Amino acid sequence: MELTIKRDKLIEEGLCDHCLGRQFAKLGYGLENYERGAILRYNKEVSKKDFVKDNIPKHSKIGGECCLCQGVFEKVEDYASLVCKTLKPYQLNSILVGVSLPQQMKEDEKRLWSKYGKQDAELIKSELNRLIGKRVLRKLNVEVDFERPDISPVVDIDKQKVKLQISSLLIYGKYNKYIRGISQTKWFHDRRVKSVEEIIAQPVLEVAEADGAKFHGAGREDIDVRCFGKRDFVLELIKPKKRNLDLQELERRINTYQEQVEVFELELTSKKKVKKIKGKRASKVYKALIVTAQEIDPDKLSKLKQLSGTIKQRTPQRVNHRRADMVRQREIYKLEPEILTANKFELIIKAEAGAYIKELISSDDGRTEPSVAQLLGCSAECERLDVIGIDN
C-alpha cells in the first residue's frame, strides 16, 4: 500500500500519534513513534525520506489517547514512578522493564495489522517497554541488560501493578569441612543434622536479605568424611534484596562464627559456573584409616599395588536405593600404605572421580574388584576417611 494512502486510512481509524507512528516504526532513525506520527499527520504527502528530525513538528509530544492504546502513553511517567517505588527495597545494577497488556489491546493491534500490514510496524508492548524503561534507567541510574538483568519489573497495565522477576545472586567459593557428622546439603528428614549448606548460607542470607538459597557443589563427601581439599561450590541466593555484598567481610564472618567449615576465595559468578562445577570430574586424594580382622603382615601390604589401575565397582549396597544398579570402571592412580598398629594402617589413595573408596577397602561383599580386603585375604573396614586433595 502506497505510504500516503496507508497513512490516510490509519488516520481515519482515529489513531493517536504514538499508534500512527508505530505502524511505520522501521522508517527513519533516531525518532520516537509519536514523532513519526506527528510527521505523518502534518505533512500532506509523505515518503520514506521525510522521517528525519528536521521534519518533526514543534508541537509534537508524548502522550495521546485512541481506541487502540486507550491512553497508556499518557501514563508513561506514572508507570515509571510505580516501577521505581516497587524496586525501592532492592539493590540492583541492571534492569529490563517489561509490560503486560490487556488482552483486548493485543487483539485490536492484530486486527489493525490484518487490515494494513505490519511490515514496518512495532508492537505496542515494545514501545511501552522502551519508553518506561528509559525513564526508570534515568531515575535509578542503572544499566539495561537484555540477557540477565538483576531484576525484570513487569508493569501489569490492566491491574496497575508491578510484578518483579528477580534473578538469583550466585557466589562461587571453596570450602573445607573439619568435622564429621555434617552433610553437604540440608537433611530435610532429620533437621538435627547440620549441613555445609546451612553453615555457609546463614550469614549470607542475613546480609543479602534473600528469600532462600540453593547449594551447588562440585561433587560431595559423605556425612562422616572430612574434606581438606577445598571443594568448589556455588551458593545461589533466591530473590536477594541486597546485591552489592562485601565478599571478604562475608568470608570472615562465615569463618569466625563457627569452626566446622571454612570458606575461601568468594566471588560473584554466573549460571555458567554452576554448570561447569556440576560437570567437573576431578580426581581426589584420600586418607583412609583401615581396620583389619587379622594382624597385618607387612609383606601382604605390597599386594595393594595391584589396586593401581582399573577397578570394577557395582553400585554399593548403601546407595543402590537411589542410584542405578550397574558396574562402573574407575581408575586408581596411587596407593601409599603406612602401618600404625597390628591391625590398623593408613592408606593414601588417589582415585578418579566417582570411585567409592569405602567399598574399595571392604569389597562390599565382592561388588568391588579388586579390593583391599580381597588382596589382604581378610575383612577390612574403613574406620575413618578424609578428602585431603582435589585436583583442579
**Which residue's entry shows cell 609383606?**
299
Of 222, 224, 299, 391, the active-site residue reads: 222
Residue 167: DSSP 8-state:
P
Separation CA 376–CA 346 (nearest Å): 14
> Are the C-beta atoms of 268 and 173 separated by less than 8 Å?
no
Whose CA is closest to 182, among 234, 232, 236, 226? Answer: 226
Give the sign of the dihedral formed by CA 236, CA 240, CA 243, CA 249. Answer: negative
Burial class (CB in 10 A: 0-12, 13-18, 19+), 354: middle
Residue 232 is among the residues annotated as catalytic for this protein: no
Reading the block at residue 149, the C-alpha cell is: 538483568
Strand partners, 330: 311
CA-closest candidate to residue 168, choices 150, 193, 156, 141: 150
Number of Cα atoms under 13 Å in the Cβ half of residue 21: 26
Catalytic residue ranges: 222
